[in-house]
Amino acid sequence: MENGIRRTPLYGEHLKSQAKIVEFAGYHMPVYYPTGIVAEHNAVRNAAGLFDVSHMGVFDISGPGALDLIQYVTTNDAARIAEWHAQYTLLCQEDGCALDDCIVYRLPDRYMLVVNAGTRERDLEWILKFSPAYGATVVDRTDEGALLAVQGPRAEQILSGLVDVDLSGIRYFRCTAANVAGHRAIVSRTGYTGEDGFELYISAESAVPVWRALLDAGDEVGLVAVGLGARDSLRLEMGYILYGNDLDDQHTPLEAGLGWAVDLDKGDFIGRAALVRQQEDGPRQRLVGFSLADRGFPRHGYEVRAGGEPIGTVTSGIISPTLGKGIGLAYVPTEFARPDTAIDIVIRDRPHAAHIVSTPFYRGGSIRR
């Protein structure tokens, strides 16, 4: 840690690769490498990319009340998670607004909760408030480990030569224990790009040798190291949300289009009453995708208008490397959320014509459901 900013176990590798380093969520992280964001983005869409996502928070939850605790603090039904499976879910406040979105894994001896880096301390404090009542133990394992992601249509081909398990048997949102280049790991078929791929949970000590082994194994088929810039453009083409931009503690999962990760029938959980009321009344605003009709770069915070009047704000926006046009997400009143609704995005004080579209923006990924 330097000046209060953390470093992942792979920080030295990023410097050797001449990555552009920025501060993100309290970490020094690579935003891009010398080839640039577009080249990295295209490599993931066409071959494969290797990401350091060790900044993500990882909590172990164990004990006789582990499941009951998870059921109470998250929105989805964790009782449905089979062993070696994973589930997307959210943490909410009493008012139904989201504290974070996360993934919960059911392992043989514990549950593992993966949270966003920027909300790690808050999430831990929040869960620890309730853990004593359920007889559950919550331990932050983030600093003990590293998390790598191999994403792209050639991800399985690259990783298969380094593991001692049959990757074809791991379906989407499932995982297994394995050795990767001789290092113990949990291998999960998950990701944030819309492409097929795997996330590798390993020890901090294993990070550098596994990173190097993956780059060596994928060199001949186009694997490249990828930074946060392309990670953002890849996820946005899929319409995946980024907590802190597209979801926060002022918006609910229902407003963000994440109702599929909220199970109001599973029993009581934090925020349930507020979400039941909102479902009955209907959300007043919704997170929607939009596409620009002409060239322009829609950025976070830009104004959204309809009929010349302000109706919302862009939460995420890019010029899509794959589609070659400006796309983004924004909250708008429900009456403007229907696909094909005409809107304007104000870019440098000039309105640019756009329209509401269904997500994902890009539907050609290799992701294996």
Between strands 183-188 and 175-180, the pairing is antiparallel
Residue 225 lies in a domain: yes
Domain membership of residue 42 (yes or no) is: yes
Q: Based on the fold, state whether residues 211 and 309 are members of the same structural domain.
A: no
Identify whether residues 46 and 172 lie together within a single domain: yes
Q: How many domains does the chain have?
A: 2
Answer yes or no: do 200 and 329 share one domain: no
- Looking at the structure, tell me whether residues 168 and 46 fall in a common domain: yes
Residue 20 lies in a domain: yes
Residue 340 belongs to some domain of the structure: yes
Give the DSSP letter string of 204-220.
GGGHHHHHHHHHHHHGG
Q: Which residues pair with 316 in a beta bridge?
A: 329
Domain boundary among 205, 237, 269: 237
Return the residue matching tokens 């959210």: 90
Helix pair 66-73, 120-134: axis angle to 10 deg: 130
Residue 199 belongs to what domain range? 6-56+143-237
Burial class (CB in 10 A: 0-12, 13-18, 19+), 73: buried
Pairing of strands 27-32, 6-7: parallel
- Gap between the terminal Cα atoms of the chain: 39
CA distances from 260 to 173, 255, 257, 264 (A): 15, 12, 8, 10
- pTM metric for this prediction: 0.97
* Phi and psi, residue 269, nearest 5°: -155, 165
**Domain end (from 237, 255, 271):** 237
Per-residue pLDDT of the chain (369 residues; tens, 9 = 90+): 567 899 999 999 999 999 999 999 999 999 999 999 999 999 999 999 999 999 999 999 999 999 999 999 999 999 999 999 999 999 999 999 999 999 999 999 999 999 999 999 999 999 999 999 999 999 999 999 999 999 999 999 999 999 999 999 999 999 999 999 999 999 999 999 999 999 999 999 999 999 999 999 999 999 999 999 999 999 999 999 999 999 999 999 999 999 999 999 999 999 999 999 999 999 999 999 999 999 899 999 999 999 999 999 999 999 999 999 999 999 999 999 999 999 999 999 999 999 999 999 999 999 877
Q: Are residues 198 and 50 in the same domain?
A: yes
Q: Which residue from 175, 222, 271, 289 is spatially nearest to 43, judged by alpha carbons?
A: 222
**Is residue 132 situated within a structural domain?**
no
10 Å CB burial of residue 166 (0-12, 13-18, 19+) is: exposed
State how far the Cα of 256 lies from the Cα of 98, in Å rounded to an integer: 10
Do 149 and 44 belong to one domain?
yes
Do 150 and 227 fall into the same domain?
A: yes
My answer on whether 232 and 288 are in the same domain is: no
User: What's the token pair of residue 206?
Assistant: 């294993």
Same domain, 168 and 49: yes
Report yes or no: 217 and 344 within 8 Å, Cβ to Cβ. Answer: no
Burial class (CB in 10 A: 0-12, 13-18, 19+), 138: buried
What is the pLDDT, as a whole number, of residue 369?
Answer: 74
Residue 100 belongs to some domain of the structure = no
Q: Which of 237, 268, 297 is the last residue of a domain?
A: 237
Residue 322 falls inside a structural domain: yes
Give the CA radius of gyration of the chain: 20
Strands 110-115 and 57-62, bridge-based pairing: antiparallel
Here the CATH number for the domain that contains residue 229 is 3.30.1360.120
Question: Same structural domain for residues 44 and 154?
Answer: yes
Q: Are residues 218 and 332 in the same domain?
A: no
Query: 333 is written with which tokens?
Result: 């009143």
The CATH number given to whatever domain includes residue 311 is 2.40.30.110
297 and 232 both lie in a single domain: no
Domain membership flag for residue 176: yes
